Amino acid sequence: MSQAFTKAMARNIFYGGSVFFILLFLALTFDTHNAWPQRDNHEAITEKVSEGKRLWEENNCIGCHTLLGEGAYFAPELGNVFKRYGGKDGIKAFIMSRPKEGVPGRRSMPQFNFSDAELDAIAEFLEYVSGMNTANWPPNIQG
């Protein structure tokens, strides 16, 4: 780089540019907070849904599945599984039916021995997620 462009100028671009874009990012974040109530399906967050989210977290479901496309890519997307399985019962039946020792040669979800109330909470959490406005993602029901 030429001599006319000094280190001090480069440093000022770094500090000035960073501060400007941090402020812009904060402004956009503020606006996002205002936009969420129309999109995030927060009215569906009941105590049961919160319990479902905790169960989702404390069993590390994200270690195999994606949820709205984020997580591991070993097992199906679950953001729209409520729609794919046609409701809560399909989800509960699938989780309950997993064999303890797995399926020979195949990927299988572990058997978590959830109680009926816990299964219900997880299914309601997934129902809540399926109601979020995700700009029409995923592209189709297969996730």
Partner 1 sequence: MQYQSQAVAKPYFIAAIGLFVGQILFGLILGLQYVIGDFMFPEIPFNVARMVHTNLLIVWLLFGFMGAAYYLVPEEAERELFSPGLAILMFWIFLVAGALTILGYLLVPYSGLAELTQNSVLPTMGREFLEQPTITKLGIVVVALAFLFNIGMTILKGRKTAVSLVLLIGLLGLAVMFLFSFYNPDNLAKDKYYWWWVVHLWVEGVWELILGSILAFVLIKTTGVDREVIEKWLYVIIAMTLITGIIGTGHHYYWIGAPEYWQWWGSIFSALEPIPFFMMTVFAFNMVNRRRRNHPNKAAVLWAMGTAVMAFLGAGVWGFLHTLAPINYYTHGTQITAAHGHMAFYGAYVMIVLTMISYAMPMLRGRTAAPSNRSQVVEMWSFWLMTVSIVFITLFLTGAGILQVYLQRYSGDPLPFMVVQDKIAMFYWMREVAGAVFMVGLIAYVASFFVGSRDPEATAVAGDSAAA
What is the closest distance, in whole angstroms, from the C-beta atom of residue 3 to partner 1 in the complex?
Answer: 10
What is the closest distance, in whole angstroms, from the C-beta atom of residue 65 to partner 1 in the complex?
Answer: 9
Of 88 and 134, the one with the shorter C-beta distance to partner 1 is 134
Of 84 and 92, the one with the shorter C-beta distance to partner 1 is 84
Of 116 and 140, the one with the shorter C-beta distance to partner 1 is 140
CA angle 13, 16, 17 (to 5 degrees): 75
* DSSP-assigned states of every residue in 70-118: EE-SSS-B-TTHHHHTTSHHHHHHHHHT--TT-BTTB---------HHH
